[in-house]
């Protein structure tokens, strides 16, 4: 990756996703397809597909799944040099359960097996590793989400270290990605943490449903009043999005595209918007690019575009 190229660094957990070969209850599924998953890793792959230099900061286990995930990143042109290998803790995974819908697409439920994973042991020491600190120092953008601080206290401290690091011109992007199961028993703490990250970021993404759950409103203008600090705020809904660049506000409808499954589309959308910002596109252009890339994630049961 040339040092002169714009670089986006994505911080978060990579997971192996096991996807049934046919839709139905898990107890009836005999075969599964292995795939890469994890919100920040999905975004990194989509950024690379959009021509942006992308790297991932994370930890994986010293196991076959961890080696598979790193190989998948390299296959998609994403730098994996800042991924630490844990000799003891395993790589996290989840299993999808697919339910067929009448219109021909599928709905999915996720069953996670990530407690005690290698990525949950991310810490400020992770951020201080030489390969990691060099990447972050030269990054034009660091992207993370509300998932990482929910994994563990040390992972939250790692994200805090990224937000607190001195920056000259690099941007921080934050996708709310509210996961109530990860914050079980401490939802108020989670909402407060996510609100703090959103107020300190330069670019913020949030679905209407997550906005309602975390901030108490899904109305874009009300949300902008609550979060005036980030330059860019993007609020998505099934039919489109509302985006802000400072005081500028535009709305855009989603593109008409066939839908197999929606998981991962939000990560691809964020990558498209960020690619537009990094290449100097207007708010309208960045939003259009976001919609175009998001449609590519809707056509399969993988979480990332290929």
In the set 79, 86, 245, 267, the catalytic residue is 267
- Contact call for residues 194 and 178 (beta carbons, < 8 A): yes
Q: Beta strands 171-175 and 232-237: pairing type?
A: unpaired
- Phi/psi of residue 17, each to 5°? -105, 130
What does the H/E/C string look like for 259-279?
CCCCCCHHHHHHHHHHHHHHC
Cα–Cα dist 195/182, whole Å: 16
267 catalytic residue (yes or no): yes
178's CB contacts (< 8 A; 6+ apart) are 146, 190, 194, 210, 213, 214
Cα–Cα dist 183/192, whole Å: 11
- Contact call for residues 135 and 100 (beta carbons, < 8 A): no
Active site residues: 267
């Amino acid at each position: 990756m040339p040092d002169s190229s714009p670089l986006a660094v994505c911080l978060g957990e990579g997971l192996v996703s096991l996807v049934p070969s046919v839709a139905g209850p898990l107890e009836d599924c005999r075969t599964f397809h292995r795939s890469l998953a994890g919100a920040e890793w999905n975004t990194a792959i989509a950024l690379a597909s959009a021509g942006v230099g992308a790297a991932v900061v994370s930890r994986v286990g010293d196991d076959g799944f961890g080696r598979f995930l790193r190989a998948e990143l390299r296959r998609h042109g994403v730098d994996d040099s800042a991924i630490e290998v844990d000799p003891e803790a395993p790589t996290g995974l989840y299993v999808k359960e697919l339910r067929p819908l009448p219109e021909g697409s599928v709905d999915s439920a996720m069953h996670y097996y990530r407690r005690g994973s290698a990525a949950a042991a991310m810490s400020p020491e992770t951020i201080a590793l030489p390969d990691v600190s060099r990447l972050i120092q030269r990054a034009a953008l660091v992207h993370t989400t509300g998932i990482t601080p929910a994994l563990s206290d040390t992972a939250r401290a790692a994200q805090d270290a990224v937000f607190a690091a001195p920056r000259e011109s690099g941007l921080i992007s934050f996708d709310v990605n509210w996961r109530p199961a990860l914050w079980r028993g401490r939802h108020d703490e989670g909402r407060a943490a996510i609100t703090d990250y959103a107020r300190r970021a330069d670019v913020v993404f949030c679905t209407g449903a997550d906005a309602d759950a975390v901030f108490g409103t899904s109305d874009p203008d009300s949300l902008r009043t609550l979060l005036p600090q980030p330059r860019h705020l993007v609020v998505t809904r099934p039919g489109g999005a509302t985006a802000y660049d400072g005081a500028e506000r535009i709305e855009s409808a989603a593109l008409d595209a066939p839908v197999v499954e929606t998981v991962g589309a939000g990560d691809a959308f964020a990558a498209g918007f960020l690619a537009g910002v990094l290449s100097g596109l207007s708010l309208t252009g960045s939003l259009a690019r976001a919609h175009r890339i998001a449609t590519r994630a809707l056509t399969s049961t993988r979480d990332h575009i290929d």
